[in-house]
Amino acid sequence: MKITKYIIGALLLPVTLVSCDGLFRDAPNDKLSEEVIWENERLLDEYVLPWYRNMDNGFRTYVTTLMKGLGYEYEPWYGDQLTVGRRDWYQGDYGNILKSSQQDITTRGRTEWFKYYTQISSINTLLENESRLPENIRQRVLGEAHFFRAYYYYTLLRMYGGVLLIKEPYNPLKNPVKFPRASYEEMVRFIADEAELAASLLDVTNTADNVGRPTRGTALMLKGKTFFWAAGEHFQNCEKDYLGFLNDRSAEMLDSAAYNYERVMKSGVYKLVEIAGTTRDEVVAGYRNIFLTKNSEESIWEVQHADDGNFSNANGHKLDREASAPSFGATTAAYNPTQNHVDEYRMANGLPITDPASGYDKNNPYEGRDYRFYANVLYDGAEWRGHTMDLHYTTVDGNEVAGEDLTPYGTSTTASVSRTGYYMAKFLNERQTIDTNDTYASSQNCIIWRYAELLLDMAEIDFKKGRTVAALDKVNQIRRRVKMPELQSVTWDDIFNERRVEMAFEKTTYWDLLRYNIAEERMTGTTNPLFGVKIVVKANGTRTITNPVVNGRNTVVRYFRARQYYWPLDWDDVRYHEIEQNPEWVEM
């Protein structure tokens, strides 16, 4: 493995030809040699396809694949906004990583390390042959190459800190050079330079036949995100330069992030998707539609999923099937919003539910909330797919009888229901067919970056730089879109809360906890247990509402230890390159 990931690009394994009516399909028909690849536009598309497929799994990969030894997207489940319904998953890789298992994290880390360096090797090989690329597409392909090289190193930086900065084809069988660990300074500068070069080569917008490829704005957003990440509290005044800066560089990093974000904003390409309606139902429908519309004016970068409803032969996914309640024939309950998250939604008047003046009624907790709550979360009494969600228990002859959406579907012993008393609605398509067909697929794209996130990043920067009026304006732009009252002044808690609500269930919420240096507190059960809701309606019509722990002190233990801010580097590379491992990891 330690050799293969570096020489796979140099060897240029035969490219698989596809039956291609789009960039993101891959049905193999034939194999071709290196000699014809660089000069053929279609074959080059096949060559770069893995760069797209390996950058992010989007909605395609699920916790259910753990038992098959495949990968999964860990970000949404390891924060405190979501948990999963299947109890047996806690006995697999997901649960072991949740419990801070060194062995499982090391295995997962090695897989990701190999995947990213394989793509970097492929990119380096193409760049070595750039003079041979067809003139009519050379600039675009080189832009893609530099963008993805920056993107993969950005991903490595977040997961591992400073890594091996390999910029050219590398074959240790021919040239046994050894690479040191790059410092944070070197990593950030290289990523930023690559992103800037990509921006100079890529078009401002894509033509219809190139939808889904990175643009100039995508590259500048990556550059801004790199500086924004590097400004995080956890990465200042570090003992080792590959773990962060040796001094405090946050102010400088924030300035650089803001400069590049402003370049994205001034391009005029991106803006918030407007919601025309004003009633609660109209706003809810409009907000949900943002995440069902592919490549909208708000989207800066997203994973392209196939439109043809096929999971096995195209890049579709099973989001709707995995997330749905048993009343629709689903059995997985993969995405359970927590009470922790529900409590983050303020009242429609803008006040937190803890404020005595907010009007919050603990006996009617779902009345008068921020409209985004109704768009994102399915609760007892919510309407979905023409069905009223039945998420309470009824007392019958002294026994508690679970409602329809808390009762497993069918006869399967592994069929699951929500553990929290909530189901997710954000991202889901109410019209998607839910059945047991293994080839069916959902098709909505998974947004990685959108303009709302850029505004929230900028609001955070403005606030930290003392520009509170500018920060307030950006927060209110987002609030106006969903017809919530504008704030008259802004605090750090306001910005933090707006980010948590607007970006709910999106991957940035996981990385935010690391960036803010609060992951140990927020992702550990003893300090932040996850709560659900249990509603019991008695025979006389009265009801009780309690909030049991569902993932924390008394059930599944959750730990996030200091060592997990960075995962362990591949041990083969640690030995071969004679470099230091990340702190507190031991070889298993």
Tell me the DSSP string of 499-555: HHHHTTTSTHHHHHHHHTT-HHHHT-TTTS-EE--EEEE-TTS-EEEE--EEESSSS
Q: Whose structure tokens read 């240790």? A: 172
Which residues, in sequence order, are bridge partners of residue 31?
16
Give the integer Cα–Cα distance in Å for 271 and 478: 11
Q: How far is CA 14 from the centre of its chain?
A: 32
Averaged pLDDT score across all residues of the chain: 89
Q: Name the CA radius of gyration of the chain, rounded.
A: 24
Work out the average pLDDT over 536-548. Answer: 93
Query: In the predicted model, is pLDDT for residue 463 greater than 60?
Result: yes
Q: For residue 272, is pLDDT > 50?
A: yes
Q: Per-residue pLDDT averaged across 320-333, rounded?
A: 91
**What's the confidence (pLDDT) of residue 462?**
98
| Sign of the CA dihedral running 274, 279, 282, 288 | positive
State the CATH architecture for 4-278+559-576: Alpha Horseshoe (1.25)
Give residue 296's pLDDT.
97
Question: 554 or 104, which is more confident?
Answer: 104
Q: What angle do CA 518, 522, 523 make, to 5 degrees?
A: 110
pLDDT at 62 over 50: no
Is the pLDDT at 523 greater than 60? The verdict is yes
pTM of the model: 0.93
pLDDT of residue 555: 61
Which of 67-71, 87-91, 485-489 has the highest average model confidence (pLDDT)? 485-489
Better pLDDT: 87 or 182: 182
pLDDT for 16 beyond 80? no
Exposed e or buried b for every residue in 118-135, given b needs 16+ CB within 10 A?
bbbbbbbbbbeeeeebee
**Reported confidence tier of residue 75, pLDDT bands at 50, 70, 90:** low
Q: Where residue 64 falls among pLDDT bands split at 50, 70, 90?
A: very low
Q: What is the pLDDT of residue 33?
A: 63
What is the amino acid identity at position 280?
A: R
pLDDT tens digits, one per residue of 132-168: 999 999 999 999 999 999 999 999 999 999 999 999 9
